[in-house]
Structure 1
Amino acid sequence: MAEPGEQLPEEVLALIFRHLPLRDRAAAARVCRAWAAAATCSTVWHNTNISCDCELEGIQPQYLSACLDHVQNLRLEFVPSREPSRLAAIELLTALAGRNPELRGLCLECRGEKRLFDSGRDVLDAVHALCRAARALRHLDLRRLPFTLDDALVLQVAHGCPELCSLFLDNSTLVGSVGPGSVLELLEACPCLRALGLHLASLSRTALEALAAPERAPFELLALRCACPEDARASPLPNEAWAELSRRHPGLAVELELEPALPAESVTRVLQPAVPVAALRLSLSGDTVGPVRFAARHYAATLRALEVRAAASAELDAALEELAERCAGLREVHCFCVVRPSVLHAFRTHCSRLRSYTLKLTREPHPWRPALVA
């Protein structure tokens, strides 16, 4: 430990400062020259989280500007319904684009509600500009943007970021506007892509075949969200295409999220036996028992996480017990309705790898917190 009056080495200070929020980093930079040097060195800024809602106020623009060149992975939060927060996010993205950054990863996260009738065009324009400039971008996560993403954005990413490794577009929009053709072009332009999140309507048999091509690099994760009318009308993806994809990439994990917009007939088209489902989230307006039983009988070897939002019933309890007996590899199960004690006993008995669960035997005030298995 340093003696009174003795200055810690810059590398030690940098190690400390990299764990501080943005506002505290800025405050540290004003203490003395040694701290200013440590607070602005590149290692402090490689992985940065910024909240535009609370952290940027009072920070000197020249301080932030001097550090932008060092940011490699950025997680940016903002509240679209608050104009200062929204404008700060746009300004920051635009500033990054204007500096030809060495950005490797970008995650955008909206908090609160978006403004009524707000399409988010100004935010998405800033993302476009950044993708044109950040050719070294490898990871782009837009799952928490409540705006409609479109073909133009996907094509910009495809041709502007050839080293892309992961892209998540499976957000909470009510309209699916990314066509299968754009996704296919993305796969052709980004041979290193190994993780992809989409709405179901954006995926096609041709895309599955492209992913299964012999020259394709190992593909690890496909996250599919079925939540908008376009997803309900999407063409079925045949079981044989899934089987070929699984053979080509034996380590592939598929995450399926089925929401109320999906009618029963669409659910049966989505749940194909050969899909290597690792995570299944069911929040359906219709039958939930059938999909749970289907998962128990076809996804026993791959299923690791299950989330169910449905009305309590004896039939659902029986289906959950069957799933517990068959899916020994489950690590998480979260059921947001009251279940009978035998359901909890089944998961605790048969699923030795279970790490957390939400299985309530009586009604409790929300939010329900999961129980952790020691």
Structure 2
Amino acid sequence: MVEPGEQLPEEVLALIFRHLPLRGRANAARVCKAWAAAATCSAVWHDTNISCECELEGMLPPHLFACLDHIHNLRLEFEPSREPSRRAATELLTALAGRTPGLRGLCLECRGEKPLFDSGRDVLDSLHALCGAAGALRHLDLRGLPFTLDDALVLQVALGCPELRSLFLDNGTLVGSVGPGSVLELLEACPRLRALGLHLASLSRTALEALAAPDRSPFEFLALRCACPEDARAPPLPNDAWAALSRRHPGLAVELELEPALPGESVTRVLQPAVPVAALRLSLSGDTVGPVRFAAHHYAATLRALEVRATSSAELDTALEELAARCAELREVHCFCVVRASVLHSFRAHCPHLRSYTLKLTREPHPWRPTLVA
């Protein structure tokens, strides 16, 4: 215990203050000189979460602006449908563009109602400026943005962020505007990129070949989202290109997310046997049984997570039992439709590494919660 009048060491205060929101840090900095020194030290600001919705008024007092230089990893939440929240996010990103050459990681997350179609232009403009100034940026996660991302942003990232290690563009937009050409330029400009998230239409055979080049740094993770009309029209990525990529990077894990916009003929083009699929998420408007059986036959060695949103049927139950018997390395399986008891028994019996599952035998109120395996 600290005796009355005794001051906690600065490093202990910093450990406490790093968990405070911005307003709390500002209040702490006004208490005394010792607290001010602790509240503004780099240890407090290295990893920072900011919610523009909770901290609109006086979000960043002037005496804390210098602390922006200490931020290495930032997670920024805002509500784009509310103009004050969006303005606060834009102002902060603009300030970061001018103040933080040391920024290493940035994750943007939108909350609240879906915004108007063009309401994100101001945010994207400030993000564009930030990517032009943050030469040390290594991780950029834009999956939480509902806005349409475009070639100009990707090319700015390629030009301004040569040290990039991960980039996630596989967001919930209804329009795919990032072309394969800009992705190829990104791969050439960022040779140490090891994780990438894209819409299917943004990926090409040429990009797969670039990733499989002999002098390429190890590539570890690829997330592909198939959710918009451009994805449905995308040309197939041939099996031999996937096989070459898997040989070059034997540790590569691919996450596939197939949504209702993808018709059946496109599904068969996406599910190539040589893709090292580690996570498969199926939310198709058409046949789901075929893709589940395909995964059972071709992804047994790599599949770790399966998510299925479909209508209950005896055929689907049989396909799930077959997959359970073949995919012994599964860690998670989540099926958002009622299944028969034998499906649950199959996964429990054949998948010894199973950590959680959603396999309901009777209809229950939503949201369905997963069962954790002890």
The C-alpha deviation readout for 1:71-105, integer Å capped at 9, x for no partner, is 00000000001111000000000011111431000
**Contact residue 23 and residue 56 of structure 1 kept, 8 A:** no
Alignment of 1:206-221 (within 5 A): 206-221=206-221
Shift of 1:333: 0.6
**Contact residue 119 and residue 148 of structure 1 kept, 8 A:** no
Structure 2 unaligned blocks of 5 or more: none
| Paired amino acid for 1:280 | L
Alignment of 1:15-164 (within 5 A): 15-59=15-59, 61-164=61-164
Measured at CA, do residues 268 and 60 of structure 1 come closer, stay the same or move farther in structure 2, by a change above 3 Å?
closer
Shift of 1:363: 0.9
Normalising by structure 1, what TM-score? 0.98
**Contact residue 56 and residue 84 of structure 2 kept, 8 A:** no
The C-alpha deviation readout for 1:192-230, integer Å capped at 9, x for no partner, is 000000000000000000000000000000000000000
| Paired amino acid for 2:326 | R
Alignment of 1:1-374 (within 5 A): 1-59=1-59, 61-374=61-374
Query: What percent of counterpart residues are identical?
Result: 87
- Output the CA distance in 2 between the equivalents of 1:44 and 1:76: 16
Mean CA deviation greater in 66-75 or 262-271: 66-75
Shift of 1:64: 3.4
- Output the CA distance in 2 between the equivalents of 1:221 and 1:76: 24
Mean CA deviation greater in 15-24 or 227-236: 15-24
| Paired amino acid for 2:71 | V
- Output the CA distance in 1 between the equivalents of 2:154 and 2:43: 31
Structure 1 unaligned blocks of 5 or more: none
| Paired amino acid for 1:321 | E
Measured at CA, do residues 246 and 203 of structure 1 come closer, stay the same or move farther in structure 2, by a change above 3 Å?
same
Shift of 1:55: 2.3
**Contact residue 208 and residue 242 of structure 2 kept, 8 A:** yes
Mean CA deviation greater in 4-13 or 61-70: 61-70
| Paired amino acid for 1:228 | C
The C-alpha deviation readout for 1:16-57, integer Å capped at 9, x for no partner, is 211223232222222222111101101100000000001242
- Output the CA distance in 1 between the equivalents of 2:321 and 2:37: 59
**Contact residue 71 and residue 100 of structure 2 kept, 8 A:** no
Shift of 1:60: 5.1
**Contact residue 309 and residue 336 of structure 1 kept, 8 A:** yes
Helix, strand or coil at the partner of 1:196: strand
Shift of 1:61: 2.3
- Output the CA distance in 1 between the equivalents of 2:2 and 2:293: 62
Shift of 1:5: 1.8
**Contact residue 22 and residue 60 of structure 2 kept, 8 A:** no
- Output the CA distance in 2 between the equivalents of 1:343 and 1:13: 52
Measured at CA, do residues 111 and 93 of structure 1 come closer, stay the same or move farther in structure 2, by a change above 3 Å?
same
Shift of 1:59: 4.0
Helix, strand or coil at the partner of 2:367: coil
**Contact residue 170 and residue 198 of structure 2 kept, 8 A:** yes
The C-alpha deviation readout for 1:266-290, integer Å capped at 9, x for no partner, is 0000000000000000000000000
The C-alpha deviation readout for 1:304-339, integer Å capped at 9, x for no partner, is 000000011111111111111110101011111111
- Output the CA distance in 2 between the equivalents of 1:96 and 1:58: 17
- Output the CA distance in 2 between the equivalents of 1:162 and 1:117: 31
| Paired amino acid for 1:111 | R
Helix, strand or coil at the partner of 2:70: coil
| Paired amino acid for 1:360 | K
Measured at CA, do residues 189 and 28 of structure 1 come closer, stay the same or move farther in structure 2, by a change above 3 Å?
same
Helix, strand or coil at the partner of 2:157: helix
